[in-house]
Amino acid sequence: MVEQTSPEKSYGRSLNIFMSAVIVAFLILLGRLWFLQIIQGPKLTERSEANRIRAYRITGSRGMIKDRFGDVIVDNRPSFDLLFNPRAVNEGEEIQYLRGLAGKVELDLGVIQSRMDANKNRTTIKIKEDITRDELARIETLSMFYQGHEYPLRIEKVGKRTFKFGQYFAHIVGYTGEIDQDRLEAPEYAGYRAGDRVGRFGVESFYEQFLRGEFGLRKVEEDARGHRIRALEYTPALPGKDLELNLIVELQQTASRAMGIYAGSVVALDPRNGQVLALYSAPSFDPELFNQPLTQAQWDALVNDSLKPLQNKVIGGMYPPGSTFKVVSALAGLQEKEITPRTTFECRGQWKYGDRFFRCHNEKGHGWVPLMVSLMRSCDIYYYKLSVQLGIERIARYAQFLGGGRKTGIDLDGELSGLIPTPEWKMQRYSQEWMPGETLNTSIGQGSVLMTPLQLAVMYAAIANGGTLYQPQVVRRIVAPDGSPIKEFAPHVMGESEIDQKNFDYVRQALISVVNNPGGTAYAARMKNLTVAGKTGTSQVRRIGKQRMHISTLPYEHRDHALFACFAPANDPKIVVVVVAEHAGHGSSVAAPVAMSMLSAYLRVTQQHPELVAPTGEREQK
């Protein structure tokens, strides 16, 4: 036992130490309070705002797409998305809750789980798109009996694309889909978020900036369970602009029916301004498919189809133009004065040039052939002999004058530029000398020449209108939701061919005879009430050998492409039609009848809409 002392004396030192310790402890707390509230205050205030204020973006409805005469091609239909608010159920029990919905609504829990894992802030997420009316009704019923604080499911009404003439316009209007990573990073897609629907193909993609609605914003205060406390701010969404196309529903339908089982392209232009009246790629697909995420099986079926339904063959298919290309050689010969309309070449069915035999499709030969007959009966030897005089450079130059080898600039994505071969190109591409025989093949549209059906149409439009290259235009004008025009697309001239009008006249006369002279290759397809000028083409996929084989004995992919390019009325052309039927055989027997169906349909349309054939206004020069 120690001596008796007063507490004050015994514990003086301890008291001092305790007091100091308490002071230090309170300074630590105060310092921490200062750090959180003053140093980190603004940052933590932001986080507190982010906690309670939720900004909901409202998507404006997408613009409509109409045909030339106002028939609606693409519209919006109401569709319902199912949203889930994870904060309304206990943490960790989200998937368990959703599993409990089995039988009420069909959910892909695997996908939802991965979305939840990425959703660190436990914000409301979309768990199913476009639920059925039955599912909608069942979910609404469930909500009435819900016992908890806040119903975790919410229905959001959104617009889905609906297609009135789906198959006919699939490649033109295209489809919408969830935005991809490339677009998300592109500056013109600023403001979009992952999961947004954008145009992915066709004019839906090309005119995305006009079609898209403007986003609205609703800011609300919410508590930790996602319960809405009050609205803070509201900016309404604005609908997108409508597109009016130059295309005509009836012509698209005709193209689809006329092509039947064939794969290929039908394109119709107005040669006076470049307006696209019809543009059909066969086979087509149902754009409605793309409203939901495709299943792997659906996707595989579309991609692995040997007829390539997703490809727009009018702008993305490249073919040797075959005999339809002979007009280029003819115009080059005339303009370069290597020939006159009276110049004749002898055709004996084959011609030996160098050490090779070059054959005509008519093995018996055409005899002595002038320009008119060379086109009418599509003599090959005529052009072989002419090409030797012209040389490849001059042929290539005239092909380029007429739009070959470059994109037409149509307002669709995915256009290819084709190929007009030259010695420089061959040297660059293959490091090989140009062979003289290649000039001969080029002159009849074989060898390395490749053109898209659209290029061919632009070329024949130039022949029809006397040498003006118009940019093909799918969209006629853009209209605001209230009907006021936003933008009218005037004709756009890409270039003028430097060819004399009289030479065009010679060629046009020859093309009339192709269809209207009993000896013409397309005589069988002629029309009674309309004078058509055109050229058949049968482009070889494999070379004609000594042994000529009948089409039915060849495997599909080795069969010839059938082509037909024409314009009408021949003396005052108002429509150009180009038909390419892949691996279908002869242009005269397969492609020409399709083109004639198109022209008949055009005549029917003009009876209802005489303004179609009215003189066009002034054109925009560039």
Stretches 42-50, 64-72, 210-218, 268-276: which one binds another protein (CB under 8 A)? 42-50
Q: Which of 70, 103, 110, 120 binds another protein (CB under 8 A)?
A: 120
Residue 4 vs 501, nearer CB to another protein: 4
For residue 265, give the nearest of 617, 582, 608 by alpha carbon. Answer: 582
The minimum distance between CB 225 and another protein, in angstroms, equals: 6
Strands 65-66 and 242-245: parallel
By CB under 8 A, name the one of 104, 122, 426, 477 that touches another protein. Answer: 122
Exposure letters 490-514 (e unless 16+ CB within 10 A, then b): ebbbbbebebeeebbebbbbbbbbb
Q: What is the smallest separation between the CB atom of 216 and another protein, expressed in angstroms?
A: 24
Q: Is 43 in the site for another protein (CB under 8 A)?
A: yes
Comparison of 21 and 186: residue with beta carbon closer to another protein: 21
The region that residue 234 occupies, defined by phi over 0 for left and psi between -120 and 50 for alpha, beta otherwise, is beta
| Segment contacting another protein by CB under 8 A, of 2-10, 187-195, 306-314, 420-428 | 2-10
474: closest CA among 202, 166, 71?
202
Complex with another protein: residue 37 or 389, whichever CB lies closer: 37
CA dist 407 and 412 (Å) reads 11
Structure tokens at 611: 């303004």
Quick one: which of 102, 111, 186, 229 contacts another protein (CB under 8 A)? 229
Would you count residue 556 as binding another protein (CB under 8 A)? Answer: no
Q: Which of 71, 81, 221, 286 binds another protein (CB under 8 A)?
A: 221
Rounded CA-CA distance 519/377 in Å is: 7
Binding map of another protein across residues 83-112, x = CB under 8 A, - = no contact: --------x---------------------
Q: How far apart are CA 345 and CA 383, in angstroms?
A: 9
User: Can residue 2 be called a binding residue for another protein (CB under 8 A)?
Assistant: yes
Evaluate whether 367 touches 347 at the Cβ level (below 8 Å). yes
25 makes contact with another protein (CB under 8 A): yes
C-beta closer to another protein: residue 119 or 517: 119
Omega before 283 within 30 of 0, i.e. cis: yes
- Minimum CB distance to another protein smaller for 37 or for 113: 37
Residue 232 near another protein by CB under 8 A: no
41 touching another protein, by CB under 8 A: yes
Question: CB-wise, 14 or 209, nearer to another protein?
Answer: 14
- Asked if 55 is part of the footprint of another protein (rule: CB under 8 A), the reply reads no
Based on the shown chain and the rule CB under 8 A, indicate whether residue 505 belongs to the binding site for another protein: no
Nearest Cα residue to 421 out of 440, 408, 410: 440
- Residue 219, token pair as written in the block: 């800011």
Q: Decide if residue 33 touches another protein (CB under 8 A).
A: yes
Q: Mind giving me the DSSP string for 77-141?
A: EEEEEEEE-GGGS-TT-HHHHHHTTTTTS---HHHHHHHHHH-TT---EEEESS--HHHHHHHHH
Which segments of 525-610 are extended strands (E)? 533-539, 561-568, 575-581
- Residue ranges of the alpha helices (H) in 432-487? 436-443, 453-465
Tell me if 182 contacts another protein by CB under 8 A: no
Q: How many residues bind another protein (CB under 8 A)?
A: 45
Asked if 251 and 169 count as a contact pair (C-beta separation under 8 A), the reply is no
Which stretches of the chain bind another protein, using CB under 8 A? 1-2, 4, 6-8, 10-11, 14-15, 18-19, 22-23, 25-26, 28-30, 32-34, 36-38, 40-45, 47-49, 51-52, 91, 120, 122, 221-225, 229
